[in-house]
Structure 1
Amino acid sequence: MDRPAWWAFEAALVATLLTAGLSQRRALVLLGISRGSWQLRLRPRPRSLQPVPHRQRRAPAWLSTVEVDAITAKLTTAFASGKSVYQAYFEAWDAADPVASLSSWYRIAHAHLEASRPVRRRARHRTTAMPQWDATGPMQVWSWDITKLKGPYVGTSYDLYVILDVFSRKIVGWRVEALESGDLAKDLFERAITDHGGVIPRIVHSDGGASMTSRTLTELFRDLTVQVSRNRPRVSNDNPYSESWFKTAKYAPTAPRFFTDLDHARAWAATFVAWYNTQHRHSSLEGHTPATVHDGTWVHVHQQRQAVLADLAAAHPERFTQAWRVKTPHAHVVLNTPQPDNRLTTG
């Protein structure tokens, strides 16, 4: 029996059951016919002469071709200067022209510009347990470390000293020298404290290197009543904030593979630290720069982003199924403890 004949037979059975006093729903249940299929048989939809595949059917929330082209152009310009999708998105948002969500930017980059995306070199790191502390504001906890910058010859390197405020991720002190010394580290901390109005951090975290445990630096921290936080012995990667910054610096597209001399290393470090503090949209700060979180001006940027989002929601209500709020940075920065979900407030 072909399909039309079978449908006619089922229709006759339904009519018989309706005559016997059953409801249409009960009759369909007894015959095992879905109500949707039954309604389509009664009122069939006209066949499309040119069917469109489901994935190509446009939805009201889809971006227009003009918007996709605008995002593609912004990403092309950003990739040419070595910026990531994340950096380009927040720069466009701060310029009041985000056009779409961050996921849409990543989707467009993957679909149209995957071959031209700047790819950083990757390094392996293993996670380890660490001492515990909690920072709720700038100038409370500093993390510092020293890393090697490659010189022009084998066996030649320069030491980059970096002090980082873990709450704001701002570099509060740095220097590049030809050797590692506790006296140089002490001078760096004294200048960092002076440059920040004499405010002394509560905790300084570091590993157990020779400069970190030197007598001169230890005496300075004791005189300033600074609590020293040390990594556990025989753990090579237990200073996440400093190590993360070193990776950001060394694997940046603008980082050279080696430095010709000490002046070259100092000039590059000065440029990179200035860019990082004032222009780098930090993923742990919800796209804000370390300098704005450090001095509190992130509030104005946050309010501007919220206004831009409100204008976008008003212009395209079909894209917003609920009221969206722009996230603020975390109110706690912790080490080896559960991360609270508290956020900074703008009031």
Structure 2
Amino acid sequence: MERQHIINVANEATYTNLPPNQIVPILADKGIYLGSESTFYRILKAHKLLNHRQRSKPCQKVKKPKALVATGPNQIYTWDITYLPTTVKGLFFYLYMVMDVFSRKVVGWQVHDNESSALAADLMTDICKREDIKRGQVVLHSDNGSPMKGATMLATLQELGIMPSLSRPSVSNDNPYSESLFRTLKYRPEYPEKAFLNIASSRRWVDDFVCWYNNEHRHSGIKFVTPAQRHTGRDIEILAQRTRLYHAAKARHPERWSGNIKNLEPVGSVYLNPEKGKANSKEVETA
């Protein structure tokens, strides 16, 4: 009976595109415990229901950086620009997107028809107003693209009191947080297979994505809470509630548990290393 219940839930529209490590915490936040992640995996595997049911691919682990440390939200941002296809071959819209490294929240974005240091500067100005950023509060990391190191952008960052963090030209840096974000974006089932019809449609799509990503997406890097929950500190109580639920479930049926419940302590500090190849440096900067 419980096996069938798990199968039925996993095949509901709400969960059909989600793996067990997403389904279990979502159910827990609703006060429902049907089984552990391993139980879900075992049952779904037995019924050949573990195949990816969306265009997403298995996530890849990112090596933990060392140089910058975020101990809370609005300390380290990372940003990048990605191309969005248009109906004209060789022409693109450009999505500017800024993420908070600690919470993974998208704190700002814009879509334009060109790459520009001035447009990037305008975006950061808007973010600082909306997030009430003080001088000296934020480090902004990016690669060495022209919009990132353009004079207008750098002058604006200086005026806002934001410290730029640029990858050195001689050192490879993959900007993993922004890369992972863009990968999630482009593998969403709703992402257009061919092109965006116009810039307005691309902006509507990105707006919907950001709303979903910040407020609904249980992020694997922050214990499967949403970026918005992490950004506001609500993840602490949510994870505590999950812990209580799992303890209660174990107390009811201890024979079903081979060990302790999983660690649901909130994720601590988050690290970023803009200068991976810097030699003989053991200093860690707290942003």
- TM-score by structure 1 length? 0.72
Counterpart check, 1:307 vs 2:244:
yes
Distance 1:275 1:72 in 2: 25
Does 165-174 or 89-98 show the bigger shift? 89-98
Aligned mate of 2:31, from 93, 96, 117: 96
Counterpart for residue 5 of structure 2: 70
Give the 3-state SS of the residue equivalent to 1:114 in structure 2: coil
CA apart distance, 1:324: 3.1
Counterpart for residue 284 of structure 2: none
Which deviations, in whole Å up to 9, do the C-alpha atoms of 1:305-336 show, x marking residues without a partner? Answer: 12211221121121235553642232111124
Distance 1:89 1:325 in 2: 12
Which deviations, in whole Å up to 9, do the C-alpha atoms of 1:102-146 show, x marking residues without a partner? Answer: 122122222224376414255999989978211111000000000
Counterpart check, 1:246 vs 2:182:
yes
Counterpart check, 1:279 vs 2:216:
yes
The 1:81–1:125 alpha-carbon spacing in structure 2 relative to 1, beyond 3 Å, is closer
CA apart distance, 1:86: 2.7
Aligned mate of 1:332, from 258, 269, 274: 269
Aligned mate of 1:187, from 96, 106, 122: 122
Aligned mate of 1:230, from 146, 154, 166: 166
Q: Percent identity?
A: 35
Q: Is the 8 A contact 1:130 1:238 kept in 2?
A: no
Counterpart check, 1:105 vs 2:55:
no
Structure 2 unmatched runs, 5+: 277-287
Distance 1:277 1:238 in 2: 23
CA apart distance, 1:234: 5.7
Matches within 5 A, 1:93-242: 93-114=28-49, 117-120=52-55, 122=57, 132-199=67-134, 201-233=137-169, 238-242=174-178
Name the count of aligned residue pairs.
272
Counterpart for residue 62 of structure 1: none
Distance 1:121 1:94 in 2: 24
CA apart distance, 1:187: 0.8
Structure 1 unmatched runs, 5+: 1-65, 338-347
Q: Is the 8 A contact 1:221 1:227 kept in 2?
A: yes
RMSD between superposed Cα atoms in Å: 2.7
Q: Is the 8 A contact 1:204 1:228 kept in 2?
A: yes
CA apart distance, 1:254: 2.0
Matches within 5 A, 1:28-43: none
Distance 2:209 2:130 in 1: 19
Distance 1:128 1:285 in 2: 16
Look up the equivalent residue of 2:148 and give its one-letter code: M
Distance 1:116 1:124 in 2: 14
Give the 3-state SS of the residue equivalent to 1:77 in structure 2: coil
Does 287-296 or 90-99 show the bigger shift? 90-99
The 1:83–1:151 alpha-carbon spacing in structure 2 relative to 1, beyond 3 Å, is farther
The 1:152–1:86 alpha-carbon spacing in structure 2 relative to 1, beyond 3 Å, is farther
Whichever structure has more helix as a proportion of its residues is 1
Counterpart for residue 21 of structure 2: 86
Look up the equivalent residue of 2:184 and give its one-letter code: T
Give the 3-state SS of the residue equivalent to 1:69 in structure 2: helix
Counterpart for residue 199 of structure 2: 262
Counterpart for residue 28 of structure 1: none
The 1:196–1:120 alpha-carbon spacing in structure 2 relative to 1, beyond 3 Å, is same
Give the 3-state SS of the residue equivalent to 1:158 in structure 2: strand
The 1:242–1:71 alpha-carbon spacing in structure 2 relative to 1, beyond 3 Å, is same
Higher relative contact order (CA 8 A, sep 6+): 2
- TM-score by structure 2 length? 0.86
Which deviations, in whole Å up to 9, do the C-alpha atoms of 1:35-59 show, x marking residues without a partner? Answer: xxxxxxxxxxxxxxxxxxxxxxxxx
Distance 2:161 2:197 in 1: 40
